[in-house]
A and B are shown apart, each in its own frame.
Chain A
Amino acid sequence: MSISLQERLARIRINAFLYFRADWLKRLIDIFGSAEEILKQNAETLAKEAQMNPSTAAHFLKDAFAIDPQEELDKTLKYGGQILVPEDEDYPQSLRDIKESPIALYVLGKLPQNRLCIGMVGTRKITAYGRRVANTLSEGLTQAGAVVVSGLARGVDSQCHAAAVKLQKPTLAVIGTGIGRCYPPENRELARAILQHGGAIVSELPFNKPPHAFHFPRRNRIIAALSQLVVVVEGEIKSGALITAKLALEMGKDVLAVPGPIDSPQSSGPNSLIKEGAGVVTSVKDIIDYIPSPQLFSLETLQEDTAPQQEQADLSPLQNKILQLIGTEEKSTDQIVETLNLSVPEAATALFELEVKGLLSCRAGLYSKSKF
């Protein structure tokens, strides 16, 4: 079933009214028969027919007519994207299944078809532990053939996307701004790489919508809907990551959590989820085991943790010593220099090579292992 261009433009218009949940918009369409019909009403009849507050109705019409749907469509097409409505064949089935299906979905890149999608969410204030976990899990899942779904936010989200992009594999980003923007701005390069490697960036917001606090919980329901299950890497008790987990549970999806130190604020969220009965993740395999029929998604078999040790075999004794010293902590160059009694140039060379090999990552002058 497909819809006329006029109707599609009308849908784009009503989708711009962000103060209604998508299912309320859907209800309006049902009442009037089509979005086009809604827009033909004046505020009074709209309020009367749909039993809305008259001022809300006026606001609704104002917002709907404030955007130019043709321009939205043109801009999206210009960037090689498309605006999907639930009647379109390409509109993801998993989004159609939820109560609040987006009225219009702006898509850049290719949406995954028949692939296992795993939501990975977490805090923006990532710790070295979170980085290591996000990196390792996302890499493992991507290698196994799954698509990691996340929100392109700072911290855990970016780390998960980046791990997939590094393998030149697709990943799916659901963002809290219009697709014409990049938030946070430093992720522009990452966004470009996601599209380059066959991934997709999607949003239900108008093309140029800037970020706003209330966009993000809304966007989280799309992450939850698009994922077969959701893994919470790190997050505080009151965080977007836990909102996503809650929404996923409401949609009847499994939620897994990565246990963390009990005194780390960033792990309080996943730890509490585990207490409430969420699945515990300690490896990529734990996640795959939760998929009822992995063969459906043609997942590749996993090789158990052999890769890191092989890599370490061709390290110099000094590099091994440094890795050993760092362990699961974060160490500064000064600490490494002092503990191992090195000169700065010696340490610099060893650290640089470890970093280039992807074994260490450096944040704010502190080195930590990038995988476990």
Chain B
Amino acid sequence: MLASVRTCALKGIDGFEVIAEVDISSGMPTFSVVGLPDTEVKESKDRVMAAIRNSGFDFPLKRITINLSPAERRKSGTQFDLPIAAGILAASQSISQDGIQKLENLLLLGELALDGSLRPCAGVLPMLISAKNSGKVVVVPPGNILEAQTSGVKFITPRTLRDLADWLDGKKEDQAVQISFIPAEQEAMPSPLDFCDVKGQALAKRALEIAAAGGHNVLMIGLPGTGKSMLAKRFPGILPPLSEEEALEITKIYSVCNLIGKTKRLTDRPFRDPHHTISDVALIGGGTTPKPGEVSLAHNGVLFLDEFAEFSRTTLEVLRQPLENGMVTISRAKESVSYPARFTLIAAMNPCPCGNLGNPHKPCTCSPVQISRYQSKISGPLLDRIDLNVTLNPVQYGDWNKPAEGDTTAQIRARVIAARQRQQVRFKNSGTTANAFMTQKQIKAFCQLPPGADQILEAAMRKFGLSARSLDKVLKTARTIADLENKENIENAHLIEVLQYRPLDRKGVPDL
């Protein structure tokens, strides 16, 4: 007998429909899965066999062939357990003819435990989104209910294989398997971390505000304990709220990585802070079965790299592609997948290996060579993608006892949102989302220099070693400052302020 069951597989963060064809014929008892299955799919055989037996069915001792079509695409994941099991039940006529017909209008996803219960699997959300157009009812494990709700498909969540079979046979009511259609409704909770908790550091706060308003990347250099991490953790709070579309994108990525439920609500912007010993692949994504890396998990949010100079040089260099394109492409001989990775990079580092350079109370014990080697770890091309550099100096003792001061997260966020709105109007239908991502053409159109700006930039090149290639960054950042102040055009004061955030351009050499 032949049966076919619909299911889904993943490529990158998009799903595609797969048909699991099950053929049972007489002959020597064998069980084979074809159609480019990965290891976890091949292992599915043993789970399926045990789950069918333990659910009280007979496992047919015949020649069983499973074909996962389209057969030329590689398939991975554990979601094929349930469709294969259901297909075997249908092909061996363990369920009624009505049930088989019902099965044809379903799309099945789910991993099976040996006792026949359904376990959650990774990547359900993107698969459901791609299945939405087919109009089929989807069977998902109870553990993936949150994603099923987010996707907006009609779904049922049986607890076990037996529940599903009974429901197909009409022995159980719909309620027993929860046919539900609840749109996801969740409000972001205000973060308990507030910008006004940070004492002093007016310059760094202002730089972060500009970064949030224009999507710029920031490098904070400062002594240990000056509040670099504190500020970075508060940064997602001043970012504008996620749009519907953005929220869905990041939820898809988290779903692929099976991180839903382990992280906070998906209505918040992600904040990822990998340790500096992270491998290239973990940061950027990849592996034999490609998986998104930290840069993609930080998509539409913040990637905070503390101890920036301690990351290995190659790890830092691989950041260049996502910083440039907002996307990571992982190419293998057989296929290549792309993951979105448009994040705001907040990097923090000490000024020198011992961390005391510029500390008024403790001398730095590093040699000049060590310092320059440490600082030169951040290569020019990488630095070129970081628009704002800011130095944090120690807070004086007196400032410590002062009450909370400066603007609160809510105040800053309101300004950021206003500035972003101006950018949205400006970049309408152009695909650009913020000032930091402006194309050359847009820079020409929207960043016109005021009279007198030439002298300022000329002086900056002469005195601070501002390079011609970093001129674009200056213009983009100045545009954001102008937006924050609700100005139509860039003014000289804006340009001058940007120059405050470029200390790394001033090499340790005297001005000429």
Contact = CB atoms under 8 A, between A and B. Distances in A.
Interface of A: 124-125, 131, 135, 154-155, 158-159, 162-163, 165-166, 184, 186-187, 189-190, 193, 265, 330, 332-335, 337-338, 344-345, 348-349, 351-352, 355-356, 358, 361-366
12 contacts: A155-B368, A163-B510, A265-B363, A330-B360, A344-B206, A345-B493, A348-B497, A352-B456, A362-B506, A363-B506, A365-B503, A366-B391
A362 B360 CA distance: 16
Contacts of A345: 481, 493-494, 496-497
A322 to B, nearest CB: 14
Nearest to B492: A349
B417 to A, nearest CB: 20
Interface stretch (B161-169, B195-203, B246-254, B325-333): B195-203
B264 interface: no
Nearest to A157: B510
Interface string B178-203: 00000000000000000000001111
Contact of B358 (A155, A158, A165, A364): A364
B510 A184 contact: no
A352 B358 contact: no
Contact of B503 (A165, A334, A335, A362): A362
B416 interface: no
B262 to A, nearest CB: 38
A174 to B, nearest CB: 18
Contact of B509 (A187, A265, A338, A351): A187
Contacts of B508: 154, 186, 363
A163 B509 CA distance: 12
B511 A162 contact: yes
Given A162-B510, A334-B392, A344-B206, 13 more contacts: A159-B510, A162-B511, A166-B511, A189-B512, A333-B500, A334-B202, A334-B204, A338-B399, A344-B202, A348-B493, A364-B503, A365-B390, A366-B393
Nearest to A124: B368
B419 interface: no
A330 B358 CA distance: 10
B203 A333 contact: yes
B278 interface: no
B493 A349 contact: yes
Interface of B: 200-204, 206, 221, 351, 357-358, 360, 363-364, 368, 372, 390-393, 396, 399, 456, 459, 463, 481, 493-494, 496-497, 499-500, 503, 506-512
Nearest to B360: A330
Contact of A365 (B358, B372, B463, B512): B358
A265 B362 CA distance: 12
A352 B360 CA distance: 24
B201 to A, nearest CB: 6
A345 B501 CA distance: 11
A333 B501 CA distance: 11
B496 A334 contact: no
A190 B393 contact: no
Contacts of B509: 158, 162, 186-187, 189-190
A14 B368 CA distance: 33
B511 A349 contact: no
Given A332-B391, A334-B200, A338-B200, A190 B372 contact: no
A190 B204 CA distance: 32
Contact of B393 (A158, A193, A355, A365): A365
Contact of A337 (B202, B351, B497): B202
Contact of B500 (A165, A166, A338, A348): A348
Contacts of A338: 200, 202, 399
A150 to B, nearest CB: 12
Contacts of B360: 330
Nearest to B364: A125
Given A349-B497, A356-B463, A364-B503, A337 B363 contact: no
A165 B512 CA distance: 7
Contacts of A265: 363
A363 B506 CA distance: 8
Nearest to A342: B202
A364 B200 contact: no
Contact of A190 (B358, B481, B499, B512): B512
B376 to A, nearest CB: 9
Contacts of A186: 372, 507-509
Contact of B496 (A159, A335, A352, A365): A352
A68 B425 CA distance: 68
Contacts of B499: 348, 352
Contact of A193 (B202, B500, B512): B512
Nearest to B485: A345
Contacts of A333: 202-203, 500
Contact of A344 (B221, B392, B459, B497): B497
A332 B463 CA distance: 18
Nearest to A346: B493
A213 B141 CA distance: 69
A286 to B, nearest CB: 23
A154 B366 CA distance: 14
B357 A364 contact: yes
Identify which of A135, A166, A352 gathers the most chain B CB atoms within 10 Å of its CB.
A352
Contacts of B203: 332-334, 337, 344, 365
B358 A351 contact: no
In this complex, the member of A184, A334, A358, A363 whose beta carbon has the largest number of chain B beta carbons within 10 angstroms is: A334
A199 B510 CA distance: 17
Residue from B456, B507, B509 with most neighbouring chain A CB atoms (10 Å): B509
Nearest to B201: A334
B458 to A, nearest CB: 10
Nearest to A344: B206
Q: State the 3 A-B residue pairs at the shortest beta-carbon distance, nearest first.
A: A365-B391, A162-B510, A332-B393
Nearest to A332: B393
